[in-house]
Structures are given as C-alpha cells and as structure tokens.
Structure 1
Amino acid sequence: MVDKNEIKGGAKEMGGKIKETAGRATGNRDMEAEGKVDQVEGKTQKNYGKVKDAVKDQTGTH
C-alpha cells in the first residue's frame, strides 16, 4: 500500500523540476532556486512515506 506522503512528495518533486526548468528557461533565478527547494522537500516527504509504509508492513498495522 502506498502512503499518501509518497504521492504528495512525488507530486511536489515533479512540480519542483518543472519550476526549476521554467526558471532556467526564463532566466528567473529565484524560480529556479524555489524549484530546487521544492524537489528536496518532495523527495524528503516521499522517502518519509516509504519509511512509514515499511514500518506499517513490519508491524502489521494498516
């Protein structure tokens, strides 16, 4: 079972990649930096969801 944090984190990570690319294409360094931050936040949230899901699998609590 996929944890909701995995889905939300993946979406935020993808949005960050888009924002970074758009910022780079338009020369907007602030947008590019925000995109990079969003990617890190998204990856962290996604990994949290994976760990949370793994713990649930190990303990048998769903």
Structure 2
Amino acid sequence: AFHERLGYRTVAHFTRCGYKLGVWYDMVWMEKLLASHPAVPEPVVPAASLDFSPVTVPLREPSV
C-alpha cells in the first residue's frame, strides 16, 4: 500500500522465488512513470553514428 500511494504499480509478482535462512520469499517488481511518453517517439539513432569520445577519452587518461 505504501508504494501504491506514491504512484507505483505492480508489474510482476514472483511467488516463492527466493530462499534465505530457511524461508521462501516472494519478489515484486513495481514501476512508476516519471513523465508522459510522446505521441510519436524520436527515431532510433544507430550506435555507429554516436560520438563516444566524451566517455572514452577520460577513461584513457591516467588517474590522479
């Protein structure tokens, strides 16, 4: 009830899927949409056309 009051909804319930210290536990997955979706989404950008240098260049630099 706590999460539902905050706007979350249950999207999956897994019965007795985890075992710990002699007890079986259920697992629940919940979601909350943070913004509305556009009527028509932006086209998918191929990964080959992306510029990864803002990520790869700092990774190549020696750490301090």
TM-score bucket of the superposed structures, by smaller chain: under 0.3
Q: Which structure: greater strand fraction?
A: 2
Normalising to structure 1: TM-score of the pair? Answer: 0.25
Higher helix share: 1
| Higher relative contact order, structure no. (Cα contacts within 8 Å, ≥ 6 residues apart) | 1
